[in-house]
Amino acid sequence: MASQDDRDPRIARISSAIRVIPDFPKKGILFQDITTLLLDIKAFRDTIDLFVERYRGKDISVVAGVEARGFIFGPPIALAIGAKFVPMRKPNKLPGLYSSTFFS
């Protein structure tokens, strides 16, 4: 499958659309800023398409998106593969009933 091949030209396009900010939020960190990716319609679509191509037909019923980037990429992927979307947040950030799990 082409989408899983590192030579897929979409991967280079996506990578070049992500701004790298050195030393943010602290020295030694290379922050991968996706806001520039979101502004590039082709790269954003390619990102979603690569995930959809990889996971369509895998009998996935729920896509869980971890805040905050997961809220951006998760819903369109879930819709495209015919799955539900569940946002995952820190405690006390969503109203109503919720399920929680502790991990380290």
Q: Say what the pLDDT of residue 9 is.
A: 94
Q: Say what the pLDDT of residue 3 is.
A: 46
Q: Say what the pLDDT of residue 93 is.
A: 76
Residue with tokens 């539900």: 84
Q: Which fold has domain 2-88?
A: Rossmann fold (3.40.50)
| pLDDT of the chain, 104 residues: tens digit per residue | 444 555 899 999 999 999 999 999 999 999 999 999 999 999 999 999 999 999 999 999 999 999 889 999 999 999 999 999 999 888 777 777 777 777 67
